[in-house]
Structure 1
Amino acid sequence: MLGSALSLLVALAVDRVVGEPRAPWHPVVWMGRALGAMGHRIAPVRQQAEPRFDGVRWTLGVLGWGAGALVVVAVAWAAQTALSTLNPWWAALLTGLLLKPLMSWRLLREEVLAVESALSQSLEQGRERLSWLVSRDTRALDASAVRESAIESLAENLNDSVVAPLLWFLVAGLPGAALYRWANTADAMWGYDGLRRDADGTARDWTWAGQWAARVDDVLSWVPARLTAALLLFAGGCLALRSLWREARRTPSPNSGWPMAALALALNLRLSKPGVYTLNAEGRAPEPADTTAAIVLAGRALTVGLVLLGAMALFTWAMA
């Protein structure tokens, strides 16, 4: 427990000081390229989504996901096994270095702040920068909707990019964190209920080919999403648990609504996706300062989590 906690702190420290590895050395980039290559063979080119069950595409999606997951977990397990032969302090340090690319807090903050900075220049620039961060169509969003989307992405990715991979690392070491990042990346690239266009404009139907990837990510994110929400509420001095339960269920996703609703309640903001959901409808529309406030709250939530983890690690060490 103590060694894992030290590795986690090393990963966060490297993230803060250095940031992301360059693309040629980034394992999540490798995952994305593998998923993209497989996706061209798995998802059919169509002009309309196929509502009837397509067993062939579903099976190909399962097999492709499983093959990639097996490789990712095997590599992570081999690395962890090799490091276990070293001095515990060196093992903790090097494990933290390998863990870092599987989580990303600094980049998330920078991207959200970049949206706010672009929005201060013009609405068009804000929309363009937001399109780097979210998959939704940003062309028709007004300034308030752009800001809301950026804050929602902060909350959702606080779970997906930070809390969840770190939690799975604590549960199952590097293989756990690597498996989660594979599942989350696969969901982002394959988990569409309908058509999605490639970079070249080709429309592919992911209705059945990506269903497995979406469901596995839902399962692996279930506990981390609720933990993230609890940390955000606690860090914001808000104990509106009943409201959290009610608001989180307004989103179609079984998980993303939890951290988004918690952040909305803690800062008394209204967050919405037009035509889909509105969280904390009684709250106020986000203003420019609220983007920074949301980032500060998210950082405070992580600090709370680290303090609790440190206390648990020290207790375990003292009792050993």
Structure 2
Amino acid sequence: MRASSDTARGLLLGVALDAVLGDPRRGHPVAAFGRVASALEKVLYADSRSRGVLYAGVLVGGAAGAGAVVERLTRGRPAWRTGATAVATWAVLGGTSLGREGRVMARLLEEGDLEGARGRLSHLCARDPAGLDAAALARATVESVAENTSDAAVAPLLWGLVGGVPGLLAYRAANTLDAMVGYRSPRYERFGWAAARLDDVLNWVPSRVTGLLVVVCSGRSEAWRVLMRDGGNHPSPNAGRCEAAFAGALGVRLGGANAYGGRVERRPEMGDGRAPEVRDIRRAVRLSAMVTWAAGALCAR
């Protein structure tokens, strides 16, 4: 599928803006959306799937509608369309922030600051950091960088390719809602069901494209072999594709026991290499950045 030249230029420019500027410290549009979502949750919440469908539909539909207004206002104005797409792309991408958090974790672990690293892990994932040693924190970081390369970069770019500004905004809205209410807990098991399933659907193709881009960018046949063998073993229909490809590309073994709020999940191992080490975090961050740029170039071809 080819985007219009205006949209394609905007997507690539947005990748460049994210690389240069990263996320703003204050006033991020996604944070503003999160506040709206939290306020609406107070109004609509019930232990009900139907309420969750309404909640997700209003917010994701509203984001797509806002994007449609932008596209209508910029119709017939190529420079404005390119600029609007670039700003929207910058707003929804998180690749630079993902890399920054990965490097922070690497620095803390390199300095032997385990408590600092445990406190910082929540910026990357919901895993319980209590009692994790340097090796476990390194594995958690590498796995999070791998999975979020799709969520933070490849998926929004692909949805921007398919749907322009509405696609960009709708994807980020759905992914944000999944992070807010999509996990299994007594409160959100029913109410968050729609958000979680919608996020799964929207990430099905991007996660697999991410796996393929990891293979191409790493240039390692092992990445392809592990992706094909282990990518479907993960409980998530999407995360395993990214993690397996990264495992093969980095020559490490991912997976194992993870604790989430007192609940332990044991996940199949992916890859045949050694356990991840602290030095592998920076390698994962570099690979993630390469994949992000490759996705941008693919969408802007």
Above 0.5 in TM-score? Answer: yes
Distance 1:305 1:66 in 2: 28
Structure 1 residue 181 displacement after superposition? 0.5
2:131 — aligned with what? 140
Alignment TM-score, normalising by the size of structure 2: 0.90
Shift of 1:309: 4.1
Select the structure with the greater relative contact order (CA < 8 A; seq sep ≥ 6): 2
SS of equivalent residue, structure 1 residue 165: helix
1:23 aligns to what SS in structure 2?
A: coil
Q: CA RMSD in A?
A: 1.8
Deviation at 1:192, TM superposition (A): 1.5
Distance 1:308 1:99, change over 3 A: closer
Cα distance in 2 for residues equivalent to 1:253 and 1:109: 23
1:58 to 2:60 alignment: no
Seen in structure 2, the aligned counterparts of structure 1 residues 130 and 66 have a Cα distance that, compared at 3 Å, is same
**1:256 corresponding residue in structure 2:** 239
**Which stretches of structure 1, 4 residues or more, deviate above 6 A after TM superposition?**
none
Matched, 1:75 2:66: yes
Q: 1:76 offset after TM fit, Å? A: 1.1
The question of 1:15 aligning with 2:5 is answered no
CA 1:306–1:73 in structure 2 vs 1: closer, same or farther (change >3 Å)? closer
Residue 230 (structure 1) aligns with: 212
Stretch of structure 1 that moved more, 292-301 or 150-159? 292-301
Distance 1:22 1:155, change over 3 A: same
| Equivalence for 1:217 | 199
1:283 positional shift? 1.2
- Paired residue total: 289
Residue of structure 2 in register with 1:37 after alignment: 39
Secondary structure in 2 matching 1:276: strand
Q: Report the counterpart of residue 92 of structure 1 in structure 2.
A: 82
Segments of 5+ residues of structure 2 without an aligned counterpart are 258-264
Query: What's the counterpart of residue 117 of structure 1?
Result: 107
For 1:49, the equivalent position in structure 2 comes to: none
The alignment-based identity, stated in percent, is 36
**Mapping of 1:125-274 within 5 angstroms?**
125-195=116-186, 205-240=187-222, 241-274=224-257
> AA paired with 2:5?
L
CA displacement at 1:65 relative to structure 2: 1.0
Residues 37 and 226 (structure 1), Cα distance of their counterparts in 2 relative to 1, 3 Å cut: same
Structure 1 gap segments, 5+ residues each: 45-53, 196-204, 314-320
Q: Deviations over 1:227-273 (max 9, x none)?
A: 00100011111235453133122221100111111001111111224
Matched residues in 2 for 1:273 and 1:33: separation? Answer: 34
Instruction: Give TM-score scaled by structure 1 length.
Output: 0.85
Q: Distance in 1 between matches of 2:243 and 2:136?
A: 14
DSSP-derived class of the 2:123 partner: coil
CA shift at 1:169, angstroms?
Answer: 0.4
Checking the alignment, whether the CA contact within 8 Å between 2:149 and 2:288 is kept in structure 1 is yes
